[in-house]
Amino acid sequence: MSIETLIAEYGLAAVFLGAGIEGETMVLAGGLFAHEGMLSLPGAMIAAACGSFVADQLFFAAGRRFRSHRWVQRAQKKPAFAKALTTLERYPVGFIFAFRFLYGLRTVSPIAIGTTHVRTRQFLWINAVAAAVWGALFTSLGYVFGTGIAELLGRYRPHGRQWLWVAGAAVLLGGGFAAFRWWRSRRA
């Protein structure tokens, strides 16, 4: 089975999982694959939105259910957690909508929100709308970026497996950068 066949068969599942676990890099890659015709653009958008929504709901539920667990207690000691709570107090609806767009607050924010008195139903609805906007935006950026690369490269336009290598490199770079930031924050 070729890589193209694997992407066509499992691509949307990868976008779904990647949106929840890794975030923007996988969703941008989903847009790139849609540009190349390996994925459906609307399907990639929906998979990205659903993956982000499910992950943030799970993090919210973890914050709500395990407030006194050492894992949540450790997260509460991080500066990003305090920043999330402070911003949530000032702009509750706006922050719930926007946290996924704010670098450094994407994972800790739903946990922080879960430890507060924000109603589950309120978080669910705002999270659903924000996930839909986020998924459509970043998938579209990946799609448009694919068009831009094709124009920049002119006559040489990567096809098939070459896009897989580009997307893989983007995921590795994004993961490496995230790991470095995590490592650096642990030392501080």
Q: Which helix (H) or strand (E) holds 34?
A: helix 24-35
The pLDDT value recorded for residue 67 is: 76
Low-confidence ranges of the chain (pLDDT < 50): 1-7, 155-156
The pLDDT value recorded for residue 54 is: 94
Measured over the CA atoms of residue 108, residue 123, residue 49 and residue 99, the dihedral's sign is negative
Interval 77-95: pLDDT, tens: 777 777 887 888 888 888 8
Interval 133-167: pLDDT, tens: 999 999 998 888 776 655 665 544 556 666 666 66
Residue 44 near residue 31 (C-beta atoms within 8 A)? yes
pTM, to two decimals: 0.71
